[in-house]
Amino acid sequence: HSKIMIHSSENGTTRELVTEPKITECNFNSLSACPTGKWLALWGGMDDGQSSGVLLIDRDSGEVTRVKHGSGPRIFWSRNGRHMYYVGFFSKENRTAKLRRDMQTGEVVELSETPPFYDHYSAISPDGRKVAYADKDNGSIKVAPIVRGEARVLVKAVGVRSMFWSADGRFIGYVQNGQLWRIASDGGEPVRINFEMPPGLKHLRLHSDGRQILFSAHRYANKTEIWVLENFLPPEKNGDPDTNKT
């Protein structure tokens, strides 16, 4: 069976995270780590007779908590780890909604009239106010307010797969046709990052320190590798977006 492994970038050690209750079904593409290091979240199921959904895992104890209404599979975090964003399903009303959970208070807020953030073609800004996403219908990357408002076209781009915001919110990085690009979040000309990308690149994640990109690649049949890329963005400006409480 599949295992959840935690690798320390500080001392190079790797350990298995044993969960309780045991997770019997999971979508590892949905696995997402809270920037504080406290939680892991994924879409999966336990041997409790309930349908699969969003699960929270305590990184230290392995304790698993089911998130009410969480249907996944894409899960986002604010940069300071205060909020978790996910898609919820309300069975009595037979509808889905985009939700924001306060990890300190447990309060859940429904985000109405928002663009999609439920797959690998979207990313939420560090301050939690905007979402960037690939509009596959007209071949562009758009940025829109997370709650309500008009989306604007950032750049025309066909074949976008994954994207992320820089830690200071100044840039958006994305993969287009196997190449890594960045563009200023307020617009401008995209810049190709001169890096020889391995085949099958996907699942981009920005490390909480803002200095590393993690991604998976498939150079060999039936084998997935995890890569780390550094020195890919200009230095951050002064100021910490984590101080913005939204």
pLDDT at 41: 92
Rg (CA), the chain: 18
Cα–Cα distance, 122 to 141 (Å, whole number)? 9
The identity of residue 171, as a single letter, is: F
Is the pLDDT at 186 greater than 80? The verdict is: yes
3-state SS assignment for residue 242: helix
Token pair for 199: 């085949």
Is the pLDDT at 61 greater than 90? The verdict is: yes
| Higher local confidence (pLDDT), 78 or 224 | 78
List the strands of the sheet with 223-230, edge to edge. Answer: 202-206, 212-220, 223-230
Is the pLDDT at 239 greater than 70? The verdict is: no
- Tally Cβ neighbours within 10 Å of residue 131: 25
Which residues are paired to 64 by β-bridges?
57
Helices (H) and strands (E) in the chain, counts: 0, 21
Tens of pLDDT along 75-126?
Answer: 888 888 899 988 888 888 888 888 889 999 999 988 865 556 545 578 888 8
3-state SS assignment for residue 64: strand
Tens of pLDDT along 34-60?
Answer: 988 899 998 888 877 788 889 999 999
pLDDT at 48: 77
